[in-house]
Amino acid sequence: MKHIKIFLLAIIVLTLAKNESLSQTLNWESLRPEQRHILNVNAGFDYAFTYGIGYGYQLRSKLPIVLNIEHSQPAGDKVFDDFKTKIGGQIRVYQVNNFHFTAKVHGIFRRFENPYVRMLNFGSDMSAIVGYYKPKWFVAGEFGFDKAIVTHFKHSHLSRENFPGVKDGWYEPATGGNFHYGLQTALSFEKSDITLKVGKVVQQDFETNSTVPYYFQIGYNRKF
């Protein structure tokens, strides 16, 4: 029975971590120093149809840095049943002509619920982006790792009927991470961007295949 519980715990946490970290997409060549505020709305497919909003703030710094907070959730009847909130930022660490090298770091808070358990998770996402940027457009590749670090489990009555010994509380599982990689691009205007992301997700063991291992997102930025 103990091994069954551990197996179910690993499966649940892997399901939670599948909600990838599709963060705000920026065109560094079109973002002017005086444009401090960046509003974003987006929609796409990330193991489910999702929609989200975000806000970024460009710091006055030698290297371009944008701090941001984002919220997303799957489309469904229950609002805030499942969701993901991220806070962090991205920095353009290096530039050679029109080639830009960017690093992203975010902390993540996620909620996931099914008939057996409600989970609250704290995790992290780190990504590297390399691309060719022009004032009116850009194309870049992104590679990152999304990790579910610690998760709180609250089991339902149905779960306790099937597994009487199950316990609520915080768990730090060794599973629950995904690598994600893909392409991003945009059409940029004076005060706005229309962005697009496509890519694939690979679980950290490089063996377990996801049911739908692809993601897609279209977004709109308003800069002022």
> Three-state SS for 28?
coil
Average model confidence (pLDDT) across the chain: 86
CATH number, domain 2-223: 2.40.128
The alpha carbon of residue 197 and the mean position of all alpha carbons in its chain are separated, in whole angstroms, by 12
| Chain segment 133-164, per-residue pLDDT in tens | 999 999 999 999 998 888 888 988 888 888 88
pLDDT at 204: 80
| Chain segment 171-195, per-residue pLDDT in tens | 776 556 889 999 999 999 999 999 9
The amino acid that residue 52 corresponds to is G
Q: Using only C-alpha atoms, what is the Rg of the chain?
A: 19
pLDDT at 3: 42
| Chain segment 5-43, per-residue pLDDT in tens | 444 444 444 444 445 556 789 999 999 999 999 999 999
| Chain segment 67-116, per-residue pLDDT in tens | 999 999 988 666 666 889 999 999 999 999 999 999 999 999 999 888 88
Q: How confident is the model at residue 208 (pLDDT cuts 50, 70, 90)?
A: low
**Entry pTM:** 0.84
Distance between CA atoms of residues 138 and 195, nearest Å: 10
pLDDT at 87: 97
Residue boundaries of the structural domains of the chain: 2-223
Distance between CA atoms of residues 191 and 105, nearest Å: 25
Distance between CA atoms of residues 171 and 9, nearest Å: 9
